[in-house]
Amino acid sequence: HGVLDDVEAAAACIFQNGITAIVGIPMQVSYLARMKKELFDTHIKKVLLSTDYVADALVKSLSRNGTCQVFNHYGMTEMGYGGGVECACLSGYHLRENDLYFEIVDPITGKVVEDGTYGEVVFTTLNRQAMPLIRYKTGDRARFLVETCACGTFLRRMEKVRGRIENTLSVEGHEITLRDLDEIFLAYESLMDYRVECYDPNRLHVRLVLDKNTDAKAFQNALKQELHVRFQSKFDFEIEIEEDDRSSKITRSMIKRKIHDCRQGAKR
Ligand SMILES: [Zn+2]
């Protein structure tokens, strides 16, 4: 089918061809699953997610009480796409060690951290001739898992990437990541998409796209309460709600997501 850009066309393709497994970008697949719930009731039993990190809330939502297996893939263009993938135990990527040598380092000092400690993922290509990379910094935050996977693989295992280091925003001395927000927002089944911008020093502007059958006022109150509890009022959230226009088109913002730091002097 190719890249998912139109939910209606993708759903028709899945129905017509009796497809049971799909590969896609997390927010795109989430949009498909939320727009076309029946697809996941009757057809899709396996999903492989790639390109962007994957929030646990998204996996939980897609797995539908275990009726659908959600696999995570890790890779980037510089790795030659594939870096690692989860086995059926769904507990961390099994790394492609025959081609890539992975390290986890302290992002400031560049020194290798102890196994099991979080840091920045760095990799070296082992047998590439055209564009070899040595200790290439990915900007991704993760850690190695020290225990052997239940499948018994000898390959090194890495916990699911926890998001890009650059998607961390420091507001009034407190840090907030896109992942933190994903875990909260994506747990709401009626949320189709969202975007976060920061203009003022301590205020985050959140634009939410909700399913049109949602009670926006009740949603906003519930979310405000949850944000208050989760962040103990360290951040001031301004919430704007847009009704989903039921467009079957998938937007660019669902592909490469980021926190938009629009404060003066912020790196764009
Ligand atoms: Zn395994």
Condensed to tens digits (0 to 9), the pLDDT of residues 153-183 reads 999 999 988 877 777 888 777 888 888 899 9
pLDDT of residue 11: 93
Distance from residue 93's CA to the centre of ligand 1 (Å)? 8
Q: What is the pLDDT of residues 187-232, one digit of tens each?
A: 999 998 888 888 877 788 999 989 888 898 999 999 989 988 888 7
Residue 37 clears pLDDT 60, i.e. is over it: yes
Who surrounds ion ligand 1 at CB < 5 A? 87, 89, 149, 151, 153
Q: Which CATH superfamily is domain 166-261 in?
A: ANL, C-terminal domain (3.30.300.30)
Determine the CATH number of domain 94-163: 2.30.38
Reference 155, options 232, 94, 66, 84; nearest CA is: 94
Q: What are phi and psi of 191, to 5 degrees?
A: -90, 125
Percent of the chain with pLDDT over 70: 97
- More confident call, 257 vs 60: 60
Q: What does the alpha-carbon distance between residue 136 and residue 124 come to, in Å, rounded to a whole number?
A: 6
Distance from residue 200's CA to the centre of ligand 1 (Å)? 45
Q: Tokens 């890779």 map to which residue? A: 75
pLDDT of residue 68: 93
* HSE (side-chain half, CA atoms, 13 Å) at 182: 24
Q: Tokens 């969202």 map to which residue? A: 194
Cite the residue boundaries of each domain of the chain with CATH code 3.30.300.30. Answer: 166-261
Cite the residue boundaries of each domain of the chain with CATH code 2.30.38. Answer: 94-163
Distance from residue 88's CA to the centre of ligand 1 (Å)? 7
Residue 267 clears pLDDT 60, i.e. is over it: no
Distance from residue 125's CA to the centre of ligand 1 (Å)? 23
Q: Per the structure block, which two tokens stand in for 192?
A: 């189709």
Distance from residue 146's CA to the centre of ligand 1 (Å)? 13
Distance from residue 157's CA to the centre of ligand 1 (Å)? 8
Distance from residue 151's CA to the centre of ligand 1 (Å)? 4
Distinct helix (H) and strand (E) counts, the chain = 6, 16
Distance from residue 70's CA to the centre of ligand 1 (Å)? 14
Which of 23-27, 44-48, 206-210 is the most confident on average?
Answer: 44-48
Distance from residue 89's CA to the centre of ligand 1 (Å)? 6
Q: What does the alpha-carbon distance between residue 213 and residue 192 come to, in Å, rounded to a whole number?
A: 12
Where residue 250 falls among pLDDT bands split at 50, 70, 90?
confident
Distance from residue 48's CA to the centre of ligand 1 (Å)? 15
Where residue 255 falls among pLDDT bands split at 50, 70, 90?
low
Percent of the chain with pLDDT over 90: 50
pLDDT of residue 266: 64
Distance from residue 49's CA to the centre of ligand 1 (Å)? 17
Q: Kindly report which listed range (14-28, 147-161, 233-247) carries the lowest average pLDDT score.
A: 233-247
Distance from residue 150's CA to the centre of ligand 1 (Å)? 6
